[in-house]
Structure 1
Amino acid sequence: MQSISKFILFNVLGWKVVNGFPKDLNKYLVIAGPHTSNWDFPLAILVRFSQGVMINFIGKKSLFKPPFGFFFKLLGGTPVDRTKSKNMVQTLIDVYNTNDKFIFAISPEGTRKKVSTWKTGFYHVAKGANVPIVMATLDFGRKQVLINDPYYLTDSMEEDFLYFHTFFKDVKGKNAEQFDPNFHLNLKKQ
């Protein structure tokens, strides 16, 4: 599957991956963005397979219904009912703490629509599970996925979000107008 994914991603679609996912870490959280299109998911799956890393994800419950639900589960997905109030942050922290190896990816925007504030759940998961964050771009402007080195959170949420901003600010999503590069300026105080 890895060589097929590489062929499709690199030769057919013309994308490149700069750096790669850490091979020496058993636990980390991937934030990928910007998330502006349905095309982000298949691209992310191709990247994941091309890198030979199993990365888990969550998705809206409706994606996991027949006839294709089994496919999303096979890819490492877990359905989430967004209409019910659940403590997803603590659930994910518990998953990290009870597994020797767990890599999880999420889009901090939480939607394909334009948002001016990122959701902060990913941040609290990484803090609570004491795992680094690996950032990955989906840059349709450059046709590249840039993956950074693991970033260990500081004691300042504002500093950390400024770091995220620096990494993502010039990235062009598939629908570039749906990404607000100033998301860090709108960080809500907890």
Structure 2
Amino acid sequence: MHRTIFSTPVVNTCLRAASRGFLRATGWRIEGELPPGAAKAVLIAAPHTSNWDLPYTLMVAFSLRLNIYWMGKASIFRFPFGPVMRWLGGIAVDRSKTNNLVQASAEALVRADGPVQLVVPPEGTRGKTRHWKTGFYFIALEARVPIVLAYMDYHDKRSGLGPIFTPTGDVEADMAAIKRFYAPIRGKRADLFTSE
């Protein structure tokens, strides 16, 4: 996986302190820590309802000493922002093409040297949707890594890492269990998020 802001030593240290200070000053609580056995993991990023989710996710990742990579629509990786987005841990996803993103992502996780967490928003969009995509689930299943239930609750101003979820292969039952965890959590635009 490519070098990111999270693996740039001096920058990482400075931004960790700045992130913690900003979050504390604005009333946010950071909860949890990366569970043992989740050095390589898929992190669900939910709810995803606003462009503000990215900067807050980055600050929380710095605060928790994570080494994240995140998926975003290809259009935000165009010039002149592409190099910056990749340095921030971004991986461009072309949603107009059918490609084997699940397999490629799983292989990248397996091959990664050291701890790496792949952040995937299950909704696949900031807009309202009733259907969660299952790519994150199959990436974790294929790479044989756990899913960490990460969250950002704008109403209660708390964000962090919840429990580990190990996929069983029963997609329907597993997705229902994951959605139950997210039911009480409210995104920046709560009207756009559903965990039904």
Residue correspondence of structure 1 range 1-190 to structure 2 within 5 A: 1-11=15-25, 13-22=26-35, 25-101=38-114, 102-182=116-196
The structural deviation recorded for 1:156 is 2.0
Runs of 5+ consecutive residues of structure 1 not aligned to the other structure: 183-190
- TM-score, normalised relative to structure 1: 0.89
* Cα deviation, residue 124, structure 1: 0.8
Distance 1:122 1:24 in 2: 18
Q: Distance in 2 between matches of 1:59 and 1:117?
A: 18
Task: Supply the RMSD in Å over aligned alpha carbons.
Answer: 1.5
State the AA in 2 paired with 1:162. Answer: A
Deviations 1:95-149 (A, max 9, x none): 1222243310010000001111100111111111111000111111101014113
In the alignment, residue 43 of structure 1 is paired with which amino acid?
Y
Matched residue type, 2:157: K
Of stretches 154-163 and 102-111 in structure 1, the one that deviates more from structure 2 is 154-163
TM-score normalised over the length of structure 2: 0.87
Residue by residue over 1:21-78, the C-alpha shift from the partner in whole angstroms, topping out at 9 and shown as x without a partner, is: 2365321000011111111111101101111111001211221222222211111112
Q: In percent, how many aligned pairs have the same letter?
A: 37
* Distance in 2 (alpha carbons) for counterparts of 1:177 and 1:5: 27
Task: Please state which structure has a larger fraction of its residues in strand.
Answer: 2
1-structure distance, mates of 2:73, 2:160: 26
CA contact (8 A) 1:26 1:100 kept: no
Q: Contact conserved, 2:38 with 2:145, CA < 8 A, in 1? A: no
Distance in 1 (CA, whole Å) between partners of 2:181 and 2:100 is 28
Query: Aligned residue pairs: how many?
Result: 181
SS in structure 2 of the partner of residue 31 of structure 1 = strand
In structure 1, give the amino acid aligned to 2:159: V
Partners of 1:7 and 1:26 in 2: CA distance? 25
SS at match of 2:57: helix
In 1, Cα distance between the equivalents of 2:159 and 2:181? 12
Instruction: Could you tell me which runs of 5 or more consecutive residues in structure 2 were left unpaired when the two chains were aligned.
Output: 1-14
